[in-house]
Amino acid sequence: MKIRKDNVRVLLAKPGLDGHDRGIYLVAQAMRDAGIEVVFLGLRVTANQVVMAAMQEDVDLIGLSIFSGGHTAIISRIIEELRRAGLDDLPVIVGGIIPPDDARELKRNGVGEVFPPGCSTADIIACVRSLISVTRDASPVLKNHLRQHQENSSVNEPSPKSGNASDDTTNE
């Protein structure tokens, strides 16, 4: 089933306790200028709030900004809750003060891309578009919804995942 959406919708949120919001505001503004619809969830949001908003707002991608140093635990929890909600396909990108080793670990755990300080908003937007184009037929949220409805009437056919087992979470 193909259901096309005309506009790209991104959920931006800032989990964790830190208040460094300069980056996420700049990204939000640049995305809007590029014609992307931004749902800005605000600061200090919990994993659950991110997942709920992603579903309710039917977004194509989640962007998280975090400068607290607590990224490993916080981002892993969000990824985990997204999986639990059946949103495995929903791409997640992360920006902030994140050392390369941690960035690699986040990507192994399912984060689409990690952006360090100083990266360009053009690069972020290009990344958003490329990550979304993979699942562009319908938003992951909608696809999940449709899949669940189909599952009710047909044999369950799990969709192939991109290499990472769901128990491959952090060692924190």
Partner 1 sequence: MFGRETLKKIREEKSKWEKGPLKLVLDKWGERDDMFKTLSGKDVNRLYTPLDIADKDYLTDINFPGGYPYTRGVVPTGYRGKLWTRRQVAGFATPEETNRRLKYLQNEGQTGINIVFDLPTHNQLDSDNPLCEGAVGKDGVPVDTLRDMEVIFEDIDIATISTSLITAGAPIFAMFLALAEKRNIPLNSLQGTLQNDIVSLFYTVHLTRFKLPEMFRISVDVIEFCIKHIPRWNPVSFVGYQIREKGSTAAQEIAFTFGSAIEYIQALQKRGFSVDDFAPRFSFFFNAHNDFFEEVCKYRAARRLWARLMRERFKAENPLSWLLRYHVQTAGSSLTAQQPVNNVIRTTIQALAAILGGAHSLHTNSMDEAYALPSETAVRTALRTQQIIAYESGVTATVDPLGGSFFVEKLTDELEDEAMTILKEVERQGGMIQAVTTGWVQKQIQDAAYIYKREIEGKKRFVVGVNCFEVEEDELPIEILKIDPSLEELQKKNLQAVRKRRDTKLVEETLKKLKAAAESDINIMPSFIEAASAYATIEEMMNMSTCVRCE
Nearer to partner 1, 99 or 146 (CB): 99
Residues 32-71 that bind partner 1 (CB under 8 A): 43-44, 67-71
Select from 98, 92, 30 the least CA-distant residue to 63. 92
Among 20, 129, 136, 147, binds partner 1 (CB under 8 A): 20
Longest Cα–Cα distance in the chain: 49
Dihedral sign computed on CA atoms, order 59, 65, 71, 72? positive
Contact between 73 and partner 1 per CB under 8 A: yes
Contact between 74 and partner 1 per CB under 8 A: yes
CB 58 within 8 Å of CB 9: yes
Contact between 80 and partner 1 per CB under 8 A: no
Contact between 29 and partner 1 per CB under 8 A: yes
Among 10, 16, 59, 65, binds partner 1 (CB under 8 A): 16
Task: Round to the nearest angstrom and report the end-to-end CA distance of the chain.
Answer: 40
Task: Give the helix ranges, DSSP H, for 45-168.
Answer: 47-57, 71-84, 100-108, 121-134, 140-153
Among 48, 120, 150, 166, binds partner 1 (CB under 8 A): 120
With vertex at residue 2, the alpha carbon angle to CA 32 and CA 92, rounded to the nearest 5 degrees, is: 45
- Please, what is the minimum distance in Å from the beta carbon of residue 151 to partner 1? 33
Nearer to partner 1, 67 or 141 (CB): 67
Q: Tokens 């809750």 — which residue?
A: 81
Among 56, 84, 117, 134, binds partner 1 (CB under 8 A): 117
Residues near partner 1 (CB under 8 A) = 16-22, 25-26, 29-30, 43-44, 67-74, 77, 97-101, 116-122, 172
